[in-house]
């Protein structure tokens, strides 16, 4: 199917799930994960009305930003090394993957150099998998939350997580519900943590049920990736 057909089907599934959960589909932001896809695919998605795109690698994002500029809203959603922060701050409106105070400090420093306030989400590890990264201990999370809240050149907007790669829906749901519970504990009034970035192609419907406001979806929009 074409990207247009994929998006029509995907948006229908999102709207149906929102209807089941008595949620407004307009409160959910669809982030099209365009890593490993070229400009033609992104251009087609733009023509279909997609405004938000997610990239996992800072230099790939930089190349696409230089080609497309500010026609779209860029989200950096991958593991971010400190020496690549300058690229992410230059290009991404949102950085979803703040996993430590050290990284937050570098983002704040680079944002100050550019004279901007960088929107960030704290990435939380809610799964047992060693391949998953994120802040984990309660004290570590509280310290990171406090730093990001107080930093002059950061705007903390939410939390992000990735569910475990499993067919066990209960484990996936627990990963998402744990993030929502943490949101409630850190910011009961939702004055700061307005966004929950969780849910991908395989589990976005569970994420919607558990309160997701940002879905990071690639395969259901673009199809198979070419990793060559």
pLDDT tens profile 95-148: 999 999 999 999 999 999 999 999 999 999 998 777 788 998 899 999 999 999
What pLDDT is recorded for position 226?
62
Report how far residue 130's alpha carbon sits from residue 147's, in angstroms, rounded to the nearest whole number: 26
- CA-to-CA distance for 226 and 228, rounded, in angstroms? 6
Q: Tell me the three-class secondary structure of 13-63, residue by residue.
A: HHHHHHHHHCCCHHHCEEEEECCCCCHHHHHHHHHCCCCEEEECCHHHHHH
Q: What is the set of domains in the chain, with CATH numbers? A: 3-222 (3.20.20.10)
Q: Quick check: 60 pLDDT over 70?
A: yes
Residue 225 has pLDDT above 70, yes or no: no
State pLDDT tens for residues 163-199: 999 999 999 999 999 999 999 999 999 999 999 999 9
CA distances from residue 111 to 99, 116, 119, 139, 151 in whole angstroms, order as listed: 17, 5, 10, 26, 11
Across 74-89, average pLDDT: 96
> Which conformational region is residue 91 in: left (phi greater than 0), alpha (psi within -120 to 50 degrees), or beta?
alpha
State the chain's mean pLDDT as an integer: 95
d(CA 168, CA 65) in angstroms, rounded, equals 37
Contact call for residues 62 and 90 (beta carbons, < 8 A): yes
Which pLDDT score is estimated for 9?
97
Confidence band for 69, pLDDT divided at 50, 70 and 90: confident
């Amino acid at each position: 199917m074409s990207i247009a057909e994929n998006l029509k089907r995907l948006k229908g599934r999102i709207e149906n799930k929102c209807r089941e959960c008595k949620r407004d589909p307009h409160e959910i932001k669809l982030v099209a994960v365009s890593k490993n896809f070229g400009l033609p695919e992104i251009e087609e998605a733009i023509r279909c009305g997609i405004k938000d795109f997610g990239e996992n690698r800072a230099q790939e994002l930089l190349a696409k930003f230089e080609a497309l500029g500010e026609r779209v809203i860029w989200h950096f959603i991958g593991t971010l090394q400190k020496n690549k922060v300058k690229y992410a701050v230059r290009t991404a409106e949102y950085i979803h993957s703040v996993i430590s105070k050290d990284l937050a400090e570098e983002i704040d420093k680079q944002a100050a150099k550019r004279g901007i306030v960088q929107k960030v989400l704290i990435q939380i590890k809610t799964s047992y998998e060693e391949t998953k990264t994120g802040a984990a201990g309660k004290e570590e999370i509280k310290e990171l939350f406090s730093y990001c809240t107080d930093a002059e050149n950061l705007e903390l907007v939410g939390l992000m997580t990735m569910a475990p790669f499993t067919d066990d829906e209960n484990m996936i749901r627990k990963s998402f519900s744990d993030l929502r519970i943490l949101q409630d504990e850190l910011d009961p009034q939702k004055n700061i943590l307005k966004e929950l970035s969780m849910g991908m192609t395989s589990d976005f419907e569970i994420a919607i049920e558990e309160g997701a406001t940002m879905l990071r979806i690639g395969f259901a929009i673009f199809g198979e990736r070419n990793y060559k």
